[in-house]
Amino acid sequence: MFVENVGEILQNTLSRTRLEKRLNEITIFLKYEDMVGENIAEISRPTFIRNGILFIGVKNHIWMHELYMLKLELMDKINSHLPSPIIKDIKFQICDIKGTKKAKADIREKKDINYEIPEKIMDFVYNICQDIDDEDLREKFKLLMIKDIKFKMKRGEILVHTHRQ
């Protein structure tokens, strides 16, 4: 009796469907910067794929011309990151590109902010934690909750006063 590993079964099933192709297409959108490099990702982004043609939005005409000259290299880079090549051509179009460097700078700036958790929220955390008998586990859970609250404050999900360090 022949037993296949679950991964092989899934891979074989996916390859018989269009789902594998769609997963590869999605990978391009998710890992574009890794595929083409940070510099190219700063001035371009994939917008959609149709019939093996990847449409890439570019910041301006100058960069569009520059990337056109690198088209074959870009296709090779992108296809090399996929289990099987799916990109047959690339078309460029002018598109509003939001730079990631500014976003990274904003994140660094937010890291410099000391988020003070309001007493009311801290009381809530302590009340939840008091039912945990194991002291070490209680402390770790409390720290995890505090970290989660600060993360949500940083993302703006919890609005509170902030103080610069």
pLDDT in tens, 30-61: 899 999 999 999 999 999 999 999 999 998 99
Which residue's structure tokens are 């520059």?
Answer: 66
Burial annotation 54-67 (CB, 10 A radius, 16+ → b, else e): bebbbbeeebbeeb
Please report the DSSP string for 111-162 in residue order.
HTEEEPPPHHHHHHHHHHHTT---HHHHHHHHHHHHHHHHHHHHHTSS---E
**Stronger pLDDT, 89 or 124, i.e. the higher one:** 89
Instruction: Write the pLDDT tens digit of every residue in 57-84.
Output: 998 999 999 999 999 999 999 999 998 8
Question: Closest by alpha carbon to 45, among 65, 62, 66, 31?
Answer: 31
Q: How many CB atoms neighbour CB 35 within 10 A?
A: 19
Write the pLDDT tens digit of every residue in 110-144.
555 677 888 888 888 888 888 888 888 888 888 88
Residue 96 reports pLDDT greater than 60: yes
CA-nearest of 23, 45, 43, 41 to 33 is: 41
